[in-house]
Structure formats: C-alpha cells, structure tokens
A and B are shown apart, each in its own frame.
Chain A
Amino acid sequence: MFFKVNSFGVRGVEGFPVSVEADVSEGLPSFILVGYLAGEVKEAQERVRTAMKNAGFRLPPRRITVNLAPAGVRKEGTGFDLAIAAAVLGCLTKKAEKDWAYIGELGLDGSVRPVPGILPRVYAAREAGVCRVFLPSENTAEGTAVEGVEIVGVADLAQLADLLAQPQRIRGAFFSPQQASLEPLPDPEVDFDELAGLPTVRRACEAAAAGRHNLLLIGPAGTGKTMAARRLPTILPPLDLEERLQVSGVYSICGLLTQKEPLIRSRPFRSPHHGTTPQAMAGGGKGPKPGEVSLATQGILFLDELAEFHPQVLDLLREPMEEGSITVSRMNGALVFPADALVVAAMNPCKCGFYPDMARCRCTPAQIRRYLSRVSGPFLDRIDIGVEVPRQDLTQESLREKGESSAVMRGRVERAVRRQRERFAKTGISCNGRMGRRQIEEFCALGAKEEELLDAICQNQNLSLRGRMKLLKVSRTLADLDEAEAIGREQLAEAAAFRSFEARYWGQM
C-alpha cells in the first residue's frame, strides 16, 4: 500500500516542494522515516504515531516506511508532521487527494500546531500548482495572503480525517483583497511634532525617506539623534503589496507574523544593540535564519551609537547596502536573503560626546581619531547624507512650540516618491538612491551655473567621482522634495552640506 502527499519546506526565504511518500507493507512492525532529515524531522515519527493513536487511529502492526523526497535535500523544521500523518492516513483509508498539500506540526494529543514559514511555503505551493493547502488553524490568516490557493485550517488530526472522509464539506478560506490593501497601522506613540526645531535634521530625514539615501546623524549626546531616527518610519511611504510580501516572507520564516497582522503592514524598524554579533546582523545558524539586516528589509535598520558597533559587523553591511540582499554561506550551501534596508546610523563625534565644542570636549585628537576610525571608509562611502545635529539653545521661545507633524512631512515625501516613480517608470529602479551612472547623467543634468558651483564644491571638499555622483543623487531628491524640475544651486549647496561630514571627521585633521 503506497500513498503520496505534498508538503513544502523552507530554504532561506524560499519554499520548496517535498513529496511525502508512505508505504505500509508486510514485515516486522516498525515505523521508518528516511530522506536526509534533520533531528526534529526524525522525531516526527514518535509525534505522528502517538498523535494518530490518540486521535483514534490504530496503526496496523506492519512495516511503515515514510520517505521525504527529494531525498538529497536536507529537510528541517517541524512542518512535515501533518503531511506524514496524512500520507500514512492515505495508505490506510485511501481517502486523501494527491494534489493537496499539508503543513503543520502535531502534538501528542493529535492537535495541529502552528509553524513558521507558512507564507513562502504556500507561495511555493501555488507555484507548484497545488490548489488546496491544509494548515494549522492559527496559520490560516497568513496562508490567505497568497492569491489563488484555498487554505483549510485544521485544529486536530481527527478534524483532518473527517474532512478527508467527506471532501464535499471542506470550506476553505481565500485571499481577500481588503486584507492585502490595509493601510499601515499608525504608531500613536511617536510623531515628528515632538521634535523641536532641527530643520536640517528634518530635511535630511525627508530626503532619506524619499530617495532612500542612507543617513548618518552626528552630534553631541542628547540632541535628538535617536529621537529623529525613531520617528523616521512615520514619514516613510506605505508598503506596496510586493514589498509587503517580501517583508512578510522574511518575518514568516522567523515566526514573527501574528494572527492579527498576517501580512506586515508597516515598514519594519529594527534597532539592533551595538553589541550585536555578525551572525545576528547578517543571518546565520545551521539552517541559516535571516539576520537584523534582512528583518529590516524595505524598512529601516537603525544603528544607534555607530562607533560602538564591532567594525566587523559594520563591514558586513557593505554588501546589503550596495546590493539590497545578503548572501549567507554555510555548510549546506549559500543562501540569499533580501536586505534592502534604509540604513540610519547615529553617533557621537567623540568618546565624551562634546567635540567639536572645544570648551567642553576633553578628548585628545588622537582619541577622537581612534573613536572615529572604528567606522571604516567603505562603510562611510555608502552613506549618502550625513547631518550634524546641533545642541540647541532650549531657552529660545520658538523651540517650545510643537514642530511640524509627521503627517505634513510624509505628504512631501509621498509627493517626491510619486515624482520618482514617474521618472523611473521605464528603468527598473524606483528611487533616486538606486540611480546608476547612466541614470544620473540622464536625470541630474545641470545648468552652466550649477555645474560651476558643483565643480567648486568638489574642489573645496576634495570629492572623488563617486562623491560627486552621490552629491548629485541627493540633490535630485532635494529637488524632488521642493517639487522642482531641475536641480538648482540651493539644492546643490544643501547636498554639499550633507556630504561634508566625511572630509571633516574622517579626512585630514
């Protein structure tokens, strides 16, 4: 008696099909599980056997062999329990349909428990032509995020057996467009209006949000660097469906999706501690899991106290900052995780935090140099906007008033984003920060006067060709924010001010 059902495993952020084959034949009574299985998959035989017994099925005292194919690919996780049970049930009752898929973990009492990674598996199921997927009932909401597949939630093995016995009673759930187009949940906790003054910082935040420019905030302690960064998500444009699926996929395999929010609605904001390890940042483990940089994809990766991070951790961010993805190589091969995050960093200019206020800073130039040198040149090269956050005189009347609110700022950002989408409609990129050499030449053309100013700036700041390109990209975003067709001298001057940090802090002292 042979029977085969479908299931799906996860590798990296992608699902892959696994067929679960069961065979019940004459021989000494046993239950054998094969197919290059990780420890937790091998243990499934005990779970499945006991769960089936407790759900009221008697396993015949015969030789039961279960194979998970393709047998050459390592399988991990507890999501195969339900499929194994279904395959064995199929052998016994011959009641299951072959192109249905089963995903879920079993408890000893026969209950079906939720597993991570539902989204990529259901996605892979659709690609494989599977029309109906049985999932743990807690995971149904996540499963319905994929269009074109019927999702059937099951609470326990007995319910599954009932449904399989009477397929006409199956009432699955489907993808709902409303669910997919939900607005991001507003965060009532933070708003830019709490931040007094700081027009330059606001402007830099808007530019970073609109053009996807990596941002560095430098300034003394307590001036509002962290406050500004935490409010940055409130002015980002909402995620579109494609982005939401990408983000949700990463969160799904980490088991971070909730029933309430089966598809991520707001852009992620990740703020790893500065003691974080390279593995936690890039992703890792035996069956590699996404790291912080991938969890921040399509959102913000905030690095507070940048200079306190281990230099190794910062340097591994170079690849994602450039490519939008990160490759993690482990024993079982290399995996690519999405890592298209906006990097926002904040740091003090020196150990005591007061430099360049020489009346208060007591660091020696060598100390300052040592502190700053923890951040490497190549990392800085990938920062587009560096903004100096000043210590403000809080006795000033104007600073007691509320600042501009996030809603107003977000309006400007969204208008700038729309302009960019229109501009890049045929090019395959969507924002100024991702412009290549050719696009810069096409979309950042300057007038004669502007060209002259740019040359003067480049000479003054000793900018390389790459620095010049970055400056142009940022001025393009500033012009978009100002709703100007062409880049003007004002925008160039502003972009230059956002660029000067590198020469000032990391150049010749």
Chain B
Amino acid sequence: MTGERTQEERQEERKREYSRRERFFAYWLSRIEGVGAKRAGKLYEYAGSFEAIYHMDETKLTALSFLGEKTGRAIAAARGQLEQRRVEFEGLDRLGISLLLAGEAAYPRRLENIYDMPVWLFVKGRLPAGDRPCAAVVGARSCSPYGRQEAEYIGRLLAEHGVQVISGMALGVDQAAHRGALAAGGDTFAVLGCGPDLCYPRASRDIYEALSGRGGILSEYGPGEPPLAPHFPVRNRLISGLSDLVIVVEARKKSGSLITADLALEQGREVCALPGRRIDPLSAGCNRLIRQGAAIVTEPEDILDFFHIKCKNSIKSKEKSGNTLAKTEKMVYSCLDSQPRHTEELMARSGLGAGECLLALHQLELRGLALQPANQYYVRKLE
C-alpha cells in the first residue's frame, strides 16, 4: 500500500503540463526530418521550451554541436511550414490520433527510464496500462509455419492471462502474435515505423482495424510519415522499451529481432527465445541468443512463470479427441510433424493411396488437427 502511494506521489511530482501552444510547437518539431528523440531532447533542454526552439536563431541552431549544420538548417527552414503544421495539428483529433509528450501523466512509465526516450508519441487507440505486465513477441517476417503457430499460441496464452502483447504488426511472427492475442480477446499494441494513420504492411489490415478499437497503435512518427527503412530499428527500441519481457520466436542470424533483443538488454528488459534445430537458419538467431544467456522457452507456459502467473489449465493441451478419428486419419496424423510435408511424402509414409490420404488430410484439417501452411504441404497443428 505504502509503495503504491509513494509511486503516485512521485508521478505527481514528475507530471508536467504543456499548454496547447507548446504542444503545437512540439508537433511542429516532430515533423522535421533529422530530428529524432535524442536531438529533440537535447534541444528542449537547451532552449527550455518547444516554442523557444522555434524562435532560435539559424546561426545558433547550426552552431549546436549535437544538431549538426544540416539539421540546424532544416529546423530553420521548417519555420515556413508553420501554417501547414497548424492545420495538421488541428486535424489530429479527427484522425483519432493523440499526441503525447514526455513527462505527461499518461506517458508510459516504462519508456521514461530508457536511454533515448521518445520526446513525443503519436497514439491511436489506447496505451498499454502501466500496472499490468507487458510482453513483446518478435520474430522473422518470413517465418516457418511452426514459428507462426508458436507466435500465435504465445500471443493467445499471454492475452488469456492478462499480459499485454506488444509487437510491430509486421508480417510473419508479429502478425501471428497480434492475431493470437486478439483471438483471446486480450490487449495488444503495435509500434509502427510509419505514421499511426497508415497501415503497414497492408496485409495486416485486419489487425490494424482491430487494434484501433481494442488495443492501440503507437508511433514516433507523425501522420502520413512513410515506412522508411531507418525507422524500423528506431521503433524496435520502443517495442522492447514498452515491455517487461521480449520473446524472440524465430530469427535468422542477421535479423531485426536481434536488434530488438539487444536493445531490450540495454534497457534492462528480460529476453527469452524459442530454441530451434542447429541447422535451421530460421532459428540461428534464437539459438545464438540462448547461447549468450537469454532464457530458453521450452514450454510456452514458462513465459508465464516470469510474470509469476499460474497457468490456467483450460488452455494447456487441448484434448485431441483421438478416439473419434478414423483409421486412415490416425495413420496420416501419425505421419505429420512440425515440418511441412508434401502430400506425396505423406502418401509414401502412410502407405495410403492418393485419394484416401487426401481425404484423411481434409478431415484432419477440418477438425483442426492439421494445417496446410503452403499448397499441398501439411503440418501437425500444435497445442
């Protein structure tokens, strides 16, 4: 009880209020190319307020060592766009986007103690609740069916146990994690490398729509900002920064997920990874993380231990209802595993004819025991 109060008090202390005018100038600054969290923070410290930055001399700006001449000039030049920015700023509400500045009461506390905390955040929907655990699920875009299923399962597991799931809405693992969490009706949040009004990648449209209502979309980039490549490592620090734990599902040797894991360690977050086979290039990154000391996830339920949550039994190992399977279905099911197998291989293994084998696979798919991740390739459905 006492701890909570002091925390509240501390928050009270830190709480900073910005006038609308000041917020507008912050927005203006956020839209200037080359001004990121680090430079903006230093500029704010130097000038004392966002408006003061606007009124700074060009010679003074270009002379600042942390800015560099180019950015200094860009800031000076951006003064001409003030009117356009004002229109945009007034329009933020209409887009359902709110601007959040560092130090404000709603600003996520988890972000406050990272090294280059964002000075501003654009938020569509909600923010992750500070008093509930958060976990990031990250991994390869071009993941295997196994990785996709695992990510979806982990997302669901976390959501069902009240853990908020953070990810990046990218293809592959990110998508699966979001979808899993959404399927369980949990809270999930995406950090984007573009403006929060854009859905990138387009294939994540369903998630984007669901998140704007049920979870939240966060970004350091203003509306309309395109998803440029350098934005992504920068947004990765927010994915890890917003979470207490980062789970890497599948990652190649050189992968953006490893950047996220590195950042998480820098920020003092826990990192865990799903192990894979030695020769599997999609697990090379995960295995390396484990070797370097990341926690190993052998059972998805291990993750809950980290949050000291007891796993509800309901989700663990769904009943196989194996008794109701026909004989051929059982034969085919026993030939399936986590590696995608071509139907021809399954025919050879089970010794069944084409028609019988395909019929059995069709039945298994309908019952949710098999999955067709690619045309005519089947895997056993996990869980």
> How many residues belonging to A are interface residues under a CB distance threshold of 8 Å?
40
Q: Which residues from chain B contact A496 at a C-beta distance below 8 Å? A: 358, 362
**Residue B376, interface by CB 8 Å:** yes
B144 touches A358 (CB 8 A): yes
Minimum Cβ distance to chain B for residue A163 (Å): 64
Q: Which of B141, B345, B361, B374 is the one whose CB lies under 8 Å from A356?
A: B374
**Residue A194, interface by CB 8 Å:** no
**Residue A497, interface by CB 8 Å:** yes
**Residue A509, interface by CB 8 Å:** yes
Tell me the complex Cα distance, A364–B140, Å: 11
A364 touches B141 (CB 8 A): yes
**Residue B295, interface by CB 8 Å:** no
**Residue A111, interface by CB 8 Å:** no
**Residue A218, interface by CB 8 Å:** yes
Chain B residue, CB-CB nearest to A368: B142
Contact with A along B112-154 (1 / 0, CB 8 A): 0000000000000000000000000000011110000000000
Tell me the complex Cα distance, A119–B325, Å: 64
**Residue B203, interface by CB 8 Å:** yes
**B281, B343, B358, B373 pick with most chain A CB within 10 angstroms:** B358
**Residue A17, interface by CB 8 Å:** no
- Interface positions of A from 488 to 509, Cβ below 8 Å from B: 488-491, 493-494, 496-497, 500-501, 504-505, 509
- Interface positions of A from 357 to 415, Cβ below 8 Å from B: 358-366, 386, 388, 390, 392, 398
Q: Which of B280, B353, B359, B365 is the one whose CB lies under 8 Å from A460?
A: B365
Q: Which of B355, B373, B377 is the one whose CB lies under 8 Å from A490?
A: B355
Tell me the complex Cα distance, A440–B171, Å: 42
Q: Assuming the A-B contacts A390-B344, A500-B376, are A358 and B143 also in contact, with contact meaning beta carbons closer than 8 angstroms in the complex? A: yes
Tell me the complex Cα distance, A501–B375, Å: 6
Tell me the complex Cα distance, A386–B141, Å: 27
> How many residues belonging to B are interface residues under a CB distance threshold of 8 Å?
33
Tell me the complex Cα distance, A356–B145, Å: 10
Q: Assuming the A-B contacts A500-B376, A501-B375, are A365 and B355 also in contact, with contact meaning beta carbons closer than 8 angstroms in the complex? A: no
B375 touches A199 (CB 8 A): no
Q: Which residues from chain A contact B353 at a C-beta distance below 8 Å? A: 490
Tell me the complex Cα distance, A497–B144, Å: 22
Question: How many A-B contacts if CB must be within 8 Å?
Answer: 93
Q: Which residues from chain A contact B366 at a C-beta distance below 8 Å? A: 456, 460
Contact with B along A174-194 (1 / 0, CB 8 A): 000000000000000000000
Tell me the complex Cα distance, A397–B143, Å: 32
Tell me the complex Cα distance, A390–B341, Å: 9
Chain B residue, CB-CB nearest to A391: B342
Tell me the complex Cα distance, A366–B203, Å: 10
A488 touches B171 (CB 8 A): no
**Residue A457, interface by CB 8 Å:** yes
B355 touches A491 (CB 8 A): yes
A490 touches B375 (CB 8 A): no
A457 touches B375 (CB 8 A): no
Q: Which of B143, B344, B361, B375 is the one whose CB lies under 8 Å from A504?
A: B375
**Residue A148, interface by CB 8 Å:** no
**Residue B347, interface by CB 8 Å:** yes
**Residue B282, interface by CB 8 Å:** yes
Chain B residue, CB-CB nearest to A505: B375
A365 touches B142 (CB 8 A): yes
Contact with B along A193-210 (1 / 0, CB 8 A): 000011110010000000
The 8 closest A-B pairs by CB, nearest first: A490-B355, A356-B374, A390-B342, A504-B375, A388-B376, A493-B358, A493-B359, A358-B144
Q: Which residues of A contact B (CB under 8 A)?
A: 197-200, 203, 218, 355-356, 358-366, 386, 388, 390, 392, 398, 453, 456-457, 460, 478, 488-491, 493-494, 496-497, 500-501, 504-505, 509
A selection of 5 A-B contacts at a CB cut-off of 8 Å is A199-B354, A200-B354, A490-B354, A493-B362, A504-B374
Q: Which residues of B contact A (CB under 8 A)?
A: 141-144, 171, 201, 203, 280-282, 340, 342-345, 347-348, 353-356, 358-359, 361-362, 365-366, 372-377
